[in-house]
Amino acid sequence: MIKRVHYRHRLWITSIAAILLLLTLYFTAYGINPSGLATNLNQRNLGPSWAHPFGTDWLGRDMLTRTIKGLALSLQVGVAAGASSVVIAGILGLAAAAMGNVVDRVVAWITDLFLSVPHLVTLLLIAFVLGGGAKGIIIGVALTHWPSLSRVIRAEVLQLRTAPYVAMSRNFGKSRWWIAIRHITPHLLPQLLVGLILVVPHAILHEASITFIGMGLSPHEPAIGIILSESMRYLSSGLWWLALFPGICLLVLVRTFAVLGENLKQWVDPRHAHEE
């Protein structure tokens, strides 16, 4: 009993800390002085100091400002791409529930088809066809990250379709869409929320990797992928801070979402629902 109470307290503490960290990053990015993004050749290639905790780059730009702006940009792209992916998975899951066995088999076939292709390769192709940028990455992530979540949603839908209250509503003459919206959708919302939180870190990492190789966001954007790509040319000159601090911050951001998603998954897991 005591262990379970401590376990739940730990979930609460880590979840609240993760949410506060994300909110702090978001509001700091919009409240920070943008003058740090301006070119200042008199302060170029400065190491970490009190004035510039993350140092400055080869154009004298403050790396702390660039990193915070880049993380906020990655967060926006990741959330938008993750939400789009979750919407696709949710629609396909409801279609499988409401439109019969034929549509269910079609959804399963499409899901298996997308899972058979490495999603990073598909993401690269989609981003290249759409000309890169935030739009290309968001659409690419949305079209490549839904299959895994769709498989989970489909399994949940198949289980819900055999529930007694669903059979009772069907006997009372309720339509498939009425049953899908009233009975199945409320049970899918926790799964979709967990899926969103867990997809976002994948979207952020893929956005950074695609941008790193020059097929993502514009070079004029203060994106983490661009910062890391540009810093590669200066590592041999001893400017280690150009890649170290942005890379660590990116890992912290991704790990924060992963922790939040795992905690939320524990809360909605029926096996832990009775642990008080």
**How many domains are contained in the chain?**
1
- What's the CA gap between 225 and 243, in Å, rounded? 10
What is the reported pTM? Answer: 0.78
CA distance 209 to 121: 12
Tokens of 235: 């590592």
State residue 197's pLDDT score. 82
Q: For residue range 87-100, list pLDDT tens digits in order.
A: 888 888 777 766 77
Decide if 42 is inside a domain.
no
Q: Note whether residue 146 is domain-resident.
A: yes
Which CATH number covers residue 208? 1.10.3720.10
What residues of the chain score a pLDDT lower than 70?
1-12, 15, 35-36, 97-98, 267-276
Domain assignment of residue 6, given as a range: 2-34+57-272
Torsion of CA 130, 81, 75, 246, to 10 degrees: -50
Q: Which residue has the tokens 């952020």?
A: 204
Domain contains 40 = no
Instruction: Of 234, 233, 217, 236, give the one whose Cα is nearest residue 225.
Output: 217
pLDDT tens-digit readout, 69-93: 888 888 888 888 888 888 888 888 7
44 in a domain, yes or no? no
What interhelical angle do 100-115 and 146-160 show, nearest 10? Answer: 150
In a domain, 69, yes or no: yes
Strand partners of residue 56? 62
| pLDDT for residue 273 | 45
Torsion of CA 245, 17, 85, 179, to 10 degrees: 180
Instruction: Give the pLDDT of residue 267.
Output: 67
Residues forming a β-bridge with 62? 56
